[in-house]
Structure 1
Amino acid sequence: MTGYRTLKWETGQVTMQKRGAMLRDLSVNLPDGQIVRPLHTAPWVGKDNVSELDGLMQGLSGEWPCVPFGARHDDLPPSWPRSLGWEDTFAHGYAAHHDWEISASAGSLDARIEMPADHPVHSLRRRVQPEANGIVLDLWILPRRDCRLPVGLHPVFALPDDPLRMRVEVSGATKVIAHPETPPPDPTPALPGAVSGSLDVVRDTTGGVVDFSRLPHSGQNETRLMALGGNGHVTITDQLTGIATKLCYDAARFPFVMLWISNRGRAAEPWSSRHLALGVEPVRAAFDLGTCVSADDNPVSRLGEATAFDFAANREFHTTYTISVHEPSTASR
């Protein structure tokens, strides 16, 4: 996999790769001279054997759009619908696994990809522009035909080795639901499908609770949670330095935030029990369960929010979101 474009400005820089139009190597220069790199890059990226990996795994990095979001899941409780209709054959969508056309100007990186002729989406576009303490991102979706699809934004943030150093807050969240897949494919203490009041009291399989608002954990787990009721702001604060990274998004469009806590929980190659990252994914979707489940009536949609978008042919969808870094004195603003 080759092909990158880098955008530089006075207080930072960011790189976009062709595969999935993924962002990587975002760095922000703070006024006190510190350089913060909030986004994650998988530990195998850039290694000799990367060509053996499929699709998005070759360059798994900090942020990309998922259209549609998720993939087919079959190991679900009876209360969930079956995957009986159309599904994108690629997890998180064709565009996440293929190369985009990227162009660079003095003030932005722009990317575009066309989908196969049988795909319900004709094309995607995205743009990244700098701001003083981070980046502004735009996504456009052009449907080929009327369709009902789950969509997600997929920022993945770096986590340090120090246990419990980072504090995670999904502002306004009213409840947290654990992924329903039974049994879970990877080790997790979270009770499948359990509803909890907040991230710090997620119900576990022993009858107790686990605090997922402080990361990383000292053990190994791979946990997927979904926060409901967020108001469009997620903050990840480094409790050692006080520096905060903020994700701001349109909560009316994306009413849920899926949290992928990758805490060295996957043992198979290339994960090798070493992958440490936090996905903070604004979605209109039923977890990552794919198009059929999200487009159908399901336990999440029964809570009052649709889990898929109703797209009209040739009517372009647009959303804007930001990732920014703040010093301790400005993190609360």
Structure 2
Amino acid sequence: MALHSFELDPVSLSIDLSVGHIVDLKIKDGDRILSPLHRAPWVDEPAAEFPDGTAPNVKRLSGDFFCAPFGRNDAEEGPSHGWPANSAWDHIETIRQDDRITVIFRLQRHVMGASVEKRITLVTGHPFVYQEHRFTGGAGGVSAAHHVMVHMADGGEIAFSPKQGAQTPPEALETDPERGRSILAYPAETEDLQAFPLADGGTADLTVYPLAEGHEDFLTLIEAPGRALGWTVASRKAEQDRIIVLKRPDSLPVTMLWMSNGGRDYAPWSGRHTGVLGIEDARASPLGHADSCRENDLSRRGIPTAFALSTGQTITVRQVIGACASGSDESCVGDVRAEESALMLLFKDGGSRSLGYDPDFLAG
């Protein structure tokens, strides 16, 4: 595995250049070192076995990766989640400034004829990773998403920026009981995130994770209109920290949740991939590349599901991942706001916490 590692206090990270995944992320908060992101147990097993056709993004499943397209790759030849999540990147340049470092990578392959560049910026004193992906040139449409994965040893609470509602796709992730289990109703939809329909007729609270033991589920949250900042905060119980994922809703108007909690019995999952929550901010249909580029359930509601590529044009997708320790005196997160030089976590009991943050990154 070829790694490219860099750091700037309080953040250090490593990129697996063979697939472009963030394989390790550490964020210092006082005397603590937080590890916000998940790494699949088989990644470090030399003898791990995989079924024929297993995509590299599954074999190297780590942290966060950029999908283009998201999910099923059925518009041009390529693996699930596209070449950015499955093939090699080159380190192009490292730019150092007074208070920040920006590291630039380029995908060795093209996506729909477009070149793809990854820029990761760290800022002194900020507990955040600022990520930017650029498509230059190309033709046609492409969906895109970040695939952030968080592991919770003993569950936790999930807070979201306001959503129009949540919906599951037509079919569950696991339909064969000999291979795995899903517990949500498919298809289903609700505006109440604390009462999503279950297959057995009950409801599930999406603000608490996990929903149950031994399940594999997937759904899409649709951003409410009129907000400049979209956010998800996963407050982990055992780890006593908060994982923060930020986006621009006009760029990435949906957040897809992948709940992987021991619901797959076949290799390499083998019932051991537990307590994992994927927070996947996207401009995409959950049904794949081709569906994202034609009229679909989301686009009929005015929600864009693909970027339009063209010669001489550059499209930029930005996202932010961060973390902080959680205090014993802090209540649940009620809101997140960007201010002049800080990100404010506002708690439901009226308290707050300020974190060093560059609001211009997502505003630009």
TM-score range, shorter chain: 0.7 to 0.9
1:144 positional shift? 1.8
Question: Which AA in structure 1 matches 2:133?
Answer: L
2:83 is the counterpart of 1:94? yes
Count of aligned positions: 312
2:253 is the counterpart of 1:255? yes
Cα separation, 2, equivalents of 1:331 and 1:43 = 32
1:103 positional shift? 4.6
2:223 is the counterpart of 1:229? yes
Cα separation, 2, equivalents of 1:187 and 1:94 = 29
SS of equivalent to 2:166: strand
1:311 positional shift? 2.2
SS of equivalent to 1:293: helix
| 43 and 309 in structure 1: CA distance in 2 versus 1, 3 angstrom threshold | same
Question: Which AA in structure 1 matches 2:17?
Answer: K
Which residue of 256, 263, 268 corresponds with 1:270? 268
Question: Which AA in structure 1 matches 2:5?
Answer: T
1:242 positional shift? 5.1
1:189 positional shift? 1.2
Cα separation, 1, equivalents of 2:173 and 2:77 = 24
Cα separation, 2, equivalents of 1:208 and 1:331 = 32
Would the aligned equivalents of 1:87 and 1:290 in 2 still touch at CA under 8 Å? no
| 128 and 182 in structure 1: CA distance in 2 versus 1, 3 angstrom threshold | closer
Cα separation, 2, equivalents of 1:183 and 1:68 = 18
Cα separation, 1, equivalents of 2:22 and 2:7 = 13
The answer for the alignment partner of 1:291 in structure 2 is: 289
Which residue of 132, 146, 151 corresponds with 1:158? 151
The answer for the alignment partner of 1:215 in structure 2 is: 209
The answer for the alignment partner of 1:246 in structure 2 is: 244
What TM-score results when the alignment is normalised by the length of structure 1?
Answer: 0.86
What TM-score results when the alignment is normalised by the length of structure 2?
Answer: 0.80
The answer for the alignment partner of 2:197 in structure 1 is: 203
The answer for the alignment partner of 1:24 in structure 2 is: 23
The answer for the alignment partner of 2:319 in structure 1 is: 321
2:162 is the counterpart of 1:168? no
Q: Which runs of 5+ in 2 are unaligned?
A: 328-343, 347-352, 354-364
Question: Which AA in structure 1 matches 2:151?
Answer: A
Backbone CA RMSD of aligned residues: 2.2
1:113 positional shift? 1.2
2:4 is the counterpart of 1:14? no
Per-residue CA shift, 1:13-46, capped at 9, x if unaligned?
Answer: 1000112211021011102x11110111001111
Would the aligned equivalents of 2:67 and 2:82 in 1 still touch at CA under 8 Å? yes
Bigger RCO of structures 1 and 2 (CA < 8 A, at least 6 apart): 1
Bigger share in strand: 2
The answer for the alignment partner of 2:362 in structure 1 is: none
Q: Which runs of 5+ in 1 are unaligned?
A: 73-82
Per-residue CA shift, 1:82-108, capped at 9, x if unaligned?
Answer: x7xx34431011221111112563523
